[in-house]
Amino acid sequence: MDFRVGGTWRYCMAGPDGATSCGAALYREIAKPERIVYTDIFTEADGTQTPDTPEMLITVTFDEAGGRTTLRSVARFASAKDLDFAVGTGMEQGLAETWDRLAAYLATR
């Protein structure tokens, strides 16, 4: 992970059935401590873009109030077709698991 504007983050995830899904993010904006904006695309394991897959524009914001921080993540797609593709990959389940893991981790802090 190269966390700077113009930097990239490549990742691969393994599902419970052993299937892998990889992606790459390109950081467009980092406004510490309130916002991160990046594009995210599906890739092959070697980092090449998977043909015919959409690019997502992700905006993550952190809002503090009363000693608590609220994280909000919004994914924007160029079309409804692109959104349907991403949802069809299991993105909703994967994100739900990610947020559940983050909540469990934060509960230990």
What residue ranges define each of the domains in the chain, with the CATH number in brackets?
8-107 (3.30.530.20)
Do 67 and 46 form a contact (C-beta atoms < 8 A)? no
The encoded tokens of residue 66 equal 């009363």
Residues with Cβ within 8 Å of 29's Cβ and at least 6 positions away in sequence, in order, are 5, 35, 36, 37, 38
Model pLDDT, residue 49: 86
CA 12 – CA 99 distance, rounded (Å): 17
CA 71 – CA 60 distance, rounded (Å): 7
The encoded tokens of residue 82 equal 């692109």
Question: Measured between alpha carbons, how far apart are the two ends of the chain, in Å?
Answer: 24
Model pLDDT, residue 48: 87
Q: 57-93, pLDDT tens digit by residue?
A: 999 999 999 988 999 999 999 999 999 988 888 888 8
- Supply the pTM of this predicted model: 0.84
Enclosing H/E stretch for 82: helix 80-88
Q: 17-56, pLDDT tens digit by residue?
A: 888 888 999 999 999 999 999 999 989 888 888 888 899 9
